[in-house]
Amino acid sequence: MAQPQDLGQEWHYNLHDRVAVGSRLHKELFCGMLLDSFDPYKPAAIDWPPLAPDALTRLRQLPFWDIALETEESAGSRMQALADATADPLIRKALALNAFEERRHKDVLGAMIRHYGIPTKGEKAPQALRNPVWAFLRTGYGECFDSFFAYGLFALARQSGFFPPDLVGVFEPVVQEEARHNLFFVNWVAYMRAQRTPAFRVAFAARCLAALAVQIWKRMGTARTVDGDNFTRTGGKALGLGLKPARFLGLCLAENERRLSPYDSRLLRPRIMPLVARAAMRILPG
């Protein structure tokens, strides 16, 4: 099991008991996980490393900075909207922290874009939110999907020396925060479902499935577009990583496990992407 220092954290749980999903203890554990593992870094204090001309060109040519900025902006506003609409003080506090961290991700990206003169298309106006729960479900499933591939891409970027280690290191807390967000999200979904009466539980499960289906459909649509802006797909191509698909999925699985390993073993883990990846690895060349 990875030690906390491997992930730049001094915090972890080492508990092996089970906890009833939907219980007060469950709520305290998944909210506590997010709140207690907060990393107080400040984007304005980041010391951006100097880049050699070829590394600078590679960074400027990566195709995903606009979509990354937009994704973080959207995630921040959706999580804040749900925090504002949540009555439970502990869950509200954790959601507000999640929103803060998404806005901070955007600030890190913005600081990097300004520092290295990366061209972007400019910000789009934020979309109005009508239903915070629906918006949060869509964002949460989207993050589970994107983070799974981002873990593998990030590990490849680190191993390949595509960028200097100092620059990769700046983004380490950002990537780890997404692992915490995914863990918080799947436990929030399970908690909320368990809190409902059986009839509403079915309705909530259907809503979750619909949110998941929308996110899958969105990504399939992007994948069909040759020049699509899908973060992981075009990201992998641009990073020049000619890894066989099954080996890449194996790396994503290993990284997913490593990044989630420091946190309380009683909390539920994201299961969909590991299941899909394992199934795909059986049929893909590798």
Instruction: Kindly state whether residue 104 participates in binding Fe ion, applying the rule CB under 5 A.
Output: no
Among 181, 193, 219, 259, binds Fe ion (CB under 5 A): 181
Nearer to Fe ion, 172 or 245 (CB): 172
Q: Which stretch binds Fe ion (CB under 5 A): 13-21, 128-136, 161-169, 170-178?
A: 170-178
Angstrom distance (rounded) from CA 185 to CA 212: 13
How big, in percent rounded to 5, are the helix, strand and coil portions of the chain? 70, 0, 30
Q: What angle do CA 159, 273, 150 make, to 5 degrees?
A: 30
C-alpha 8: how far from its chain's center?
17
Instruction: Kindly state whether residue 146 participates in binding Fe ion, applying the rule CB under 5 A.
Output: no
Encoded one letter per residue, x for contact with Fe ion by CB under 5 A and - for no contact, window 227-266 reads ----------------------------------------
Instruction: Kindly state whether residue 105 participates in binding Fe ion, applying the rule CB under 5 A.
Output: yes
- Give least dist CB 177 to Fe ion, A: 6
Instruction: Kindly state whether residue 106 participates in binding Fe ion, applying the rule CB under 5 A.
Output: no
- Give least dist CB 146 to Fe ion, A: 9
Instruction: Kindly state whether residue 180 participates in binding Fe ion, applying the rule CB under 5 A.
Output: no
Instruction: Kindly state whether residue 219 participates in binding Fe ion, applying the rule CB under 5 A.
Output: no
Q: How far apart are the first and last CA of the chain?
A: 26
Q: Which stretch binds Fe ion (CB under 5 A): 35-43, 59-67, 141-149, 273-281?
A: 141-149
Task: Kindly tell me the burial class for residue 120, based on how many C-beta atoms sit within 10 Å of its own C-beta (0-12, 13-18, 19 or more).
Answer: middle
Residues 6+ apart with CB under 8 A from 150: 175, 178, 231, 232, 235
Residues 6+ apart with CB under 8 A from 79: 95, 96, 98, 99, 102, 136, 139
Identity of residue 157: A
Instruction: Kindly state whether residue 78 participates in binding Fe ion, applying the rule CB under 5 A.
Output: no
Nearer to Fe ion, 143 or 264 (CB): 143
- Give least dist CB 111 to Fe ion, A: 15
3-state secondary structure of 68: helix
Q: Which stretch binds Fe ion (CB under 5 A): 87-95, 142-150, 226-234, 272-280?
A: 142-150
Q: Which stretch binds Fe ion (CB under 5 A): 65-73, 163-171, 194-202, 236-244?
A: 65-73
Q: What sign does the dihedral 23-25-26-27 (CA atoms) show?
A: positive
Q: Which stretch binds Fe ion (CB under 5 A): 43-51, 69-77, 109-117, 251-259?
A: 69-77
Identity of residue 75: A
Instruction: Kindly state whether residue 102 participates in binding Fe ion, applying the rule CB under 5 A.
Output: yes
* Chain positions contacting Fe ion, by CB under 5 A: 72, 102, 105, 143, 178, 181
